[in-house]
Amino acid sequence: MTSKLAALRSWVDQVASQTQPDNIHWCSGSEEEYQEFVQQMLAEGTLTTLNEKTYPDCYLHRSDPNDVARVEHLTFVCTENEEDAGQNNNWMSPADAHAKMDKLFEGCMRGRTMYVIPYCMGPIGSRYSRCGVEITDSPYVVINMKKMTRMGKNALERIEKEGYFVRGLHSTGDLDPDRRFIMHFPDELSIMSFGSGYGGNALLGKKCHALRIASHQARREGWLAEHMLIVGLESPEGAVHYIACAFPSACGKTNLAMLIPPDELHDWKVWTLGDDIAWLHPDETGKLRAINPESGYFGVVPGTNQKTNKNAYDMIMHDTIFTNVAVTEDNEPWWEGKQLGTPVKDWRGRDYDEANGPAAHPNSRFTVSATNNPSYSNLADEPEGVPISAIVFGGRRKHVAPLVYEAKSWEHGVLVGASTASETTAAMVGEVGVIRRDPMAMKPFCGYNFADYWAHWLSFKDRTAHLPKIFHVNWFRQDDEGHFLWPGFGENLRVLQWIIDRCEHRAGAQETALGYLPHPYDLDTIGLDISTQTVETLTSIDLKQCRNEMISLGEYLESYGDRTPGELLRQQHLVLQEIDREIAKA
Ligand code: OXD
Ligand code: MN
């Protein structure tokens, strides 16, 4: 196989002459091809089968122990002007980055096969979708891309029609962390990733293309590429609202996207459109429509059980690629929080010994096709996407942030998004549990200067007539003893219900300096084992703490210099003024 598109053929030839592979394989994306790669990897030992009775068509892949997470410190945005990448990114000049990467790629595929993967992010027939081609020497990447994207023949046909595509070049190299870089060249629409086989670094359609490069395309073309899940909530009356939620990595996006309603709200239905990325476009009627550019989920495994996320638990019992989980004596995958079975081998394949730490790596992952999900919405394949009623930001915060509040306007909502902060998790290399700023949950993923990105967000005020309302949630507030105050999981639907009711103008709220908060009685807590006092705590704010946060947010926004939009600073100033007024009143 090859391509009718000269630009693609010549790029493939040029990469082949640089990397010197033994073979070149153009991926068709067929089921037979997937099976062939699985068989090849089983024979090589880079994949092992799991219990075929209880986990049919499930496989385990073990990574190199030093290659188990995204590497933000080795991820660069390469623009001519350093300011365009912004302080939110590591920067290297395109010339320096090319020189560095060209050396690494020189002859790196000798003895290996080079795979050419044409893929489409978003439904093949959608005007909102964008295409790319990933060249890789990793069959693990190929089988993951098959689940995560629409890849192969149909994507190639679209690329040939359009004539352009994002170029992603990847090699696992020798997995030496000192020779590992993930480079983005937004002006060339290209990505070069060397030295890692981990999903976020190697499946280039995901974070590299659908967020970092797409955020550029979105800015140029007037849309938004965001780190958001998309979920549809159907009320007992049959009305469906779609909401898009931006939470930092490993804050429960997948759980929320597949939420199972609690008994008291059993007549609600929840439909998953996406669990990680949303592309939002204004349509001709002035609404913001969302598509999920991905076709699968690359989710964190630990903590998944019948109670926390039964849909995900069932979804990963067949046709799933597991990465870095432990196994039981019956050869079933095992992870912390599974609440069933006992590990005998840990994620590194050693006999399990508590002294070595968790049996499954805390960032162990499942890769599944979205259609495995019992709550999958067919509209995930709808070229026009779905209209968004509400945008929800959130983080993992022990203190300060209340359970939920609504922004007072679009501009205020942009400030709320920019204020997002969260405790770090195992999804990225580094210390776990430290609070870091993560505006719009895009800190690791915005491919350009945050100040310009906030200006782009603000510009939507004039782009569409019917903007969604903006909210902020925090499921993770704790009491002084470290207990979570809100039960979370399915019960989060009670908060989403208030959000929808606010969109429908039928729920009450109290106006505060921070935004509109529900009164305790505005939230449906019937059947919930929670004290009135706890609900009061969850729906109230500590003005002094909020004041400190607002001051530090102002300093943070100003640290972006002249590019910080004046409107954002004005919003911050207004909130601070309001807080001071309330403090004076109290
Ligand atoms: C992810 C992440 O893997 O955000 O989705 O790190
Ligand atoms: Mn993510």
| Shortest-distance atom of ligand 1 to CA 249 | 4
Six token digits for residue 13: 């030839």
pLDDT per position as a tens digit, 370-404: 999 999 999 999 999 999 999 999 999 988 899 99
Residues 187, 460, 559, 395: is their CA dihedral positive or negative?
A: negative
Instruction: Say yes or no: CB of residue 361 within 6 Å of ligand 1.
Output: no
Q: Where are the beta strands (DSSP E) in 501-585?
A: 510-511, 516-517
Atom of ligand 1 nearest to the CA of 445: 4
pLDDT of 538 higher than 80: yes
pLDDT at 426: 64
User: 525: CA distance to ligand 2 center in Å?
Assistant: 30
In this structure, which residue's CA is closest to atom 4 in ligand 1?
249
CA-to-CA distance for 77 and 96, rounded, in angstroms? 12
Q: Is 200 in the pocket of ligand 1 (CB under 6 A)?
A: yes
Give me the pLDDT at residue 400, please: 85
Say how many Å lie between the CA of residue 234 and the centre of ligand 1. Answer: 27
Looking only at Cα atoms, what is the longest distance across the chain?
75
Ligand 1 pocket, residue 192 CB under 6 Å: no
DSSP letter for 76, please: E
Q: What percent of the chain has pLDDT over 70?
A: 99
Residue 222: phi and psi, rounded to 5, are 85, 35
Give the pair of three-digit tokens for residue 274. 């996406």
- pLDDT: which is higher, 424 or 496: 496
Average pLDDT score over the chain: 96
Q: What angle do CA 536, 435, 72 make, to 5 degrees?
A: 140
Assess whether the C-beta atom of 70 lies below 6 angstroms from ligand 1.
yes
Query: Span 541-552, mean pLDDT?
Result: 94
Whether the CB-CB separation of 10 and 133 falls below 8 Å is answered with no
Measured distance CA(442)–CA(451) in Å, rounded: 12
| Residue 365 near residue 254, CB atoms below 8 Å | no
CA of 96 to the centre of ligand 2 (A): 29
Q: Whose CA is nearest to atom 2 of ligand 1?
A: 249
Please check the confidence at residue 433 and state whether its pLDDT lies above 80. no
pLDDT attached to residue 501: 97
pLDDT, tens digit, for every residue of 88-127? 999 999 999 999 999 999 999 999 999 999 999 999 999 9
Rounded-to-integer distance, Cα 579 and Cα 582, Å: 5
Ligand 1 pocket check for 150: Cβ under 6 Å: no
Measured CA to CA, the distance from residue 457 to residue 225 in angstroms comes to: 11
- Evaluate whether 105 touches 139 at the Cβ level (below 8 Å): no
- 1 burial class (0-12, 13-18, 19+ CB within 10 angstroms)? exposed
Ligand 1: does its nearest atom lie under 6 Å from the Cβ of 294?
no
Confidence grade of residue 250 (pLDDT, cut at 50, 70, 90)? confident
Q: Which residues pair with 280 in a beta bridge?
A: 224, 290
363 lines ligand 1 (CB under 6 A): no
- Per DSSP, 209 falls in state I
* Weakest mean pLDDT among 230-234, 422-426, 461-465: 422-426
Q: What confidence score (pLDDT) does residue 434 get?
A: 75
pLDDT digits (tens, 9 = 90+) for 314-363: 999 999 999 999 999 999 999 999 999 999 999 999 999 999 999 999 99
List, for residues 553-562, the tens digit of each pLDDT value: 999 999 999 9
Query: Quick one: tokens of 93?
Result: 């000049």
| 227 alpha carbon – ligand 1 mean position (Å) | 9
**Is 546 tagged catalytic?**
no
Pairing of strands 269-274, 59-61: unpaired
Given pLDDT bands bounded at 50, 70 and 90, which one contains residue 301?
A: very high
CA of 205 to the centre of ligand 2 (A): 13
Q: Are 282 and 465 in contact (CB under 8 A)?
A: no
- For ligand 1, atom 1, the nearest C-alpha belongs to 249
Query: Which two tokens mark 167?
Result: 């170029």
Q: Is 367 exposed, middle or buried (0-12, 13-18, 19+ CB in 10 A)?
A: buried
